[in-house]
Amino acid sequence: MTTATYTVTGMTCGHCVSSVKEEVGEVAGVTGVDVDLATGLLTVQSEAPIEPARIVAAVEEAGYTVADQP
């Protein structure tokens, strides 16, 4: 199991969190997604490493920005 963390900016409410979780959860290989609204921390679990650009693209599709990348 692999875990990667990202900082997402622009989220202001529970709906924002749901949007990010939904988009990132649809990325092939993702087995779990956790988003903390207060810190902006996005934690992605997967069986094997996932290209960070795929996660960033999913976050952007949800309408938000990744502040840092692993």
**CATH classification (class only), 2-68:** alpha beta
Instruction: Tell me the CB-side half-sphere exposure of residue 56, using CA atoms within 13 A.
Output: 8
Cα separations (Å) of 23 from 53, 54, 64?
13, 11, 11
C-alpha–C-alpha distance, residues 62 and 19, integer Å: 6
pLDDT for res 51: 95
Which pLDDT does position 29 carry in this prediction?
97
Predicted local confidence at residue 70, as pLDDT: 53
For the chain, the average pLDDT equals: 95
CA torsion, ordered 34, 37, 39, 41, to nearest 10 deg: 30
Q: pLDDT below 70 — which residues of the chain? A: 69-70
